Amino acid sequence: MLADVLHTLRKVKRISRVTVVSADFEVRRIIRPMGARFLWEGKRKGLNKGVRLAMRDAEHRKFSAALIIPCDIPRVTPREIHRLLRFSDAYSVAITPSKDGAGTNALLLRPPGVINPAFGKNSFRKHLSQANREGLSLKIVRSIGIASDVDEPADLAVLKRLQLRNQTGRFLRTFDGTMLGNRRFKPKFN
């Protein structure tokens, strides 16, 4: 999924740099051929701390805006990213909710760090509240591909039925689908 998201981002000309934040050095092997930069977050500090690290890096590099997206959205398309970036000049915050409406699957901030990351339970509401409290210009951008994250095995089953033409789709076509319906197989992906 990470490779699919990076491949999509590479097709978007308005994105000047992609940085992947991770505590896993093995991620470098995946992202290096894709032209992404690796930023080590240290020993498993958590998503929000990793995002804050990336925002400080973006501010240090004098970027005018930052787009935060997860790596578990293999349905995202360049067109959806272009549509989201269209709002970067007019709004301080543009946000795409997850499919359940509770989470945040894309957060565009101008300038980087204009609000604090609040990913996790009910992050969509938390990000909206922060932007409103600060009086920032805000745009909600609904998008099927960005909203379609993978949080549980049923989400993988949906992706398998869609027969995606990317690395995730190729993997799922070779993956033993019986595990997807197995009630004992219940990992949570976040």
* Per-domain residue ranges of the chain: 2-147, 150-190
Q: What is the pLDDT of residues 65-99, one digit of tens each?
A: 999 999 999 999 999 999 999 998 889 999 999 99
Q: What is the pLDDT of residues 4-55, one digit of tens each?
A: 999 999 999 999 999 999 999 999 999 999 999 999 988 867 899 999 999 9
Mean pLDDT of the chain: 90
Mean pLDDT value across residues 160-172: 92
Task: Enumerate the H helices of the chain as residue ranges.
Answer: 2-10, 27-31, 47-60, 78-85, 123-133, 144-147, 153-162, 167-174
Q: Which CATH number fits domain 2-147: 3.30.2270.10, 3.30.70.250, 3.90.550.10, 3.40.1400.10?
A: 3.90.550.10
CB 82 within 8 A of CB 67: no
CB 8 within 8 A of CB 76: yes
Mean pLDDT value across residues 143-151: 95
